[in-house]
């Protein structure tokens, strides 16, 4: 094969499927979405007609999720839902949490909400839909509704928004990354020597009792650099990210006010 044709073939193979490309083009007006697209660039995208996943656009897999677009359900989604679902899937892929982390769920929800509000600032119809979603339920739009609720809570206080995410019920095995960091700071050597039956609800480290699920989660991140990588994947959502979302919200409020 001539080199020029080979390059075209490689480029075609690397290009996203058509529906994915259209979604990414729609999302790209949002700065937050562009950051997520870059962060999740290594995750594969796939189109199907019957994914069997909870959402029309969803992330499947563990630490390295695949983003799956169900074409059979995509066209029937209410305004803003496809974009919200894709942003949520991108956030999961960007974080790629090796274990269920409460902060990963909070960061993912926050980034999705920021994408939604930035898109609403550029689209009058979507802005109207967002105001409606904050006022009441929107059938068939779970991710768009969650983003709207997050934004409403965030305007009261970031802590209220994060607490609301936690109250929605992350996976049962989810732990707080900050607790893992504290556990390693206090008991790194003892953690490396732990050996306990799976049914034990607690472990004792340094004379103090800790939930066994926390110790098991800590052991799953014992490889050098794993803990810091998990922290870095969250992108300072609860510090720098707070200011960024506040700015995006303020801009939407200015544009959408009567």
pLDDT in tens, 19-73: 899 999 999 999 999 999 999 999 999 999 999 999 999 999 877 789 999 999 9
Is residue 197's pLDDT more than 80? no
pTM for the structure as a whole: 0.88
Is residue 238's pLDDT more than 80? yes
Is residue 173's pLDDT more than 90? no
Residue 196 pLDDT class (50, 70, 90 cuts): low
Residue 15 pLDDT class (50, 70, 90 cuts): low
Domain boundaries, the chain: 17-173+231-256, 177-222
For residue 193, the model assigns a pLDDT of: 80
Mean pLDDT in residue range 153-157: 97
Mean pLDDT in residue range 188-201: 77
Higher pLDDT, 167 or 199: 167
For residue 9, the model assigns a pLDDT of: 40
For residue 1, the model assigns a pLDDT of: 45
Mean pLDDT in residue range 170-199: 83
Is residue 228's pLDDT more than 60? yes
pLDDT in tens, 208-223: 898 888 988 888 888 8
Concatenated DSSP letters for the chain? Answer: --HHHHHHHHHHHHSPPHHHHHHHHHHTTSHHHHHHHHHTTTS-EEEES---SSSSEEEESSSSPEEEEEHHHHTTSPTTHHHHHHHHHHHHHHH--SS-BHHHHHHHHHHHHHHHHHHHHH-HHHHHHHHHHHHS--TT-HHHHHHHHHHHHHHH-HHHHHHHHHHT---TT-B-HHHHHHHHHHHHHHHHT----TT-SEEEETTEEEEHHHHHHHHHT-STTHHHHHHHTTTTTTTHHHHHHHHHHHHHHHHH--
């Amino acid at each position: 094969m001539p080199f020029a044709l080979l390059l075209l073939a490689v480029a075609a193979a690397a290009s996203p499927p058509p529906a994915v490309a259209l979604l990414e083009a729609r999302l790209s007006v949002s700065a937050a979405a562009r950051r997520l697209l870059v962060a999740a660039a290594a995750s594969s995208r796939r189109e199907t007609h019957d994914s069997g996943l909870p959402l029309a656009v969803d992330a499947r897999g563990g630490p390295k999720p695949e983003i799956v677009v169900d074409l059979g359900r995509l066209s029937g989604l209410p305004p803003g839902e496809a974009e919200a679902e894709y942003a949520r899937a991108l956030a999961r892929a960007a974080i790629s949490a090796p274990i269920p982390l409460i902060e990963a769920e909070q960061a993912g929800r926050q980034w999705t909400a920021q994408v939604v509000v930035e898109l609403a600032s550029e689209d009058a119809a979507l802005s109207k839909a967002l105001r409606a979603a904050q006022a009441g339920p929107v059938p068939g739009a779970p991710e768009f509704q969650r983003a709207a609720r997050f934004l409403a809570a965030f305007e009261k206080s970031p802590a209220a928004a994060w607490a609301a995410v936690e109250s929605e019920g992350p996976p049962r095995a989810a732990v707080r990354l900050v607790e893992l960091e504290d556990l390693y700071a206090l008991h790194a050597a003892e953690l490396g020597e732990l050996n306990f039956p799976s049914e034990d609800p607690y472990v004792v480290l340094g004379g103090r009792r800790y939930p066994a699920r926390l110790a098991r989660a800590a052991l799953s991140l014992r490889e050098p650099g794993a803990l810091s990588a998990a922290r870095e994947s969250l992108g300072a959502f609860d510090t720098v990210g707070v200011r960024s979302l506040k700015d995006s919200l303020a801009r939407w409020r200015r544009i959408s006010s009567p």
